[in-house]
Amino acid sequence: QSVLTQPPSVSGAPGQRVTISCTGSSSNIGASYDVHWYQQLPGTAPKLLIYGNNNRPSGVPDRFSGSKSGTSASLAITGLQAEDEADYYCQSYDRSLSGYVFGTGTKVTAL
């Protein structure tokens, strides 16, 4: 049972903006620990998408952006494309568990 909660699914038409929330608590995101996001295309390993709350690794399109406020974080995809259909996971550190934790995961569908 994950301590970071994400919506099971989000969808949008190509070109639209979609957001994925990652809700934590005062022992993880709210304790100022960084949030990272991963994209997992079908049948492949997860890939780093956003690190340190809002930084994109080289090669990640700028239509992906991250933010954090209070005990929650969000991933936004601006200009949704068919190739963005994947599962997305947030990750942070939890001081109560003294370890890293993943979110429950969100499946993104381009309608």
Partner 1 sequence: QVQLQESGPGLVKPSETLSLTCTVSGGSITSYYWSWIRQPPGKGLEYIGYIYYSGSTNYNPSLKSRVTISVDTSKNHFSLILSSVTAADTAIYYCASHGNWNELFSWGQGTLVTVSS
Site for partner 1 in 33-62 (CB under 8 A): 34, 36, 38, 44-48, 51-52, 55, 57
Residue in this structure with the two tokens 């994950």, named with its chain if needed: 2
For partner 1, the closer CB: 72 or 93: 93
Query: Among residues 1 and 82, whose Cβ is nearest to partner 1?
Result: 1
Q: Which range of residues in 14-22, 61-69, 74-82, 85-93 is near partner 1 by CB under 8 A?
A: 85-93
In the complex, what is the shortest distance from the CB of residue 20 to partner 1, in angstroms, rounded to a whole number? 14
Residue type present at position 4? L
The secondary structure of 8-65 as a DSSP string is SEEEE-TT-EEEEEEE--TTTGGGT---EEEEE-TTS--EEEEBTTTBPPTT--TTEE
How many angstroms separate the CA atoms of 74 and 1, rounded? 20
Distance between CA atoms of residues 22 and 7, nearest Å? 8
Cα–Cα distance, 17 to 79 (Å, whole number): 6
Instruction: Give the residue with the Cβ less far from partner 1, 36 or 64.
Output: 36
Distance in Å, CB of 15 to partner 1, minimum = 28
Positions touching partner 1 (CB under 8 A) are 2, 34, 36, 38, 44-48, 51-52, 55, 57, 89, 91, 93, 97-105
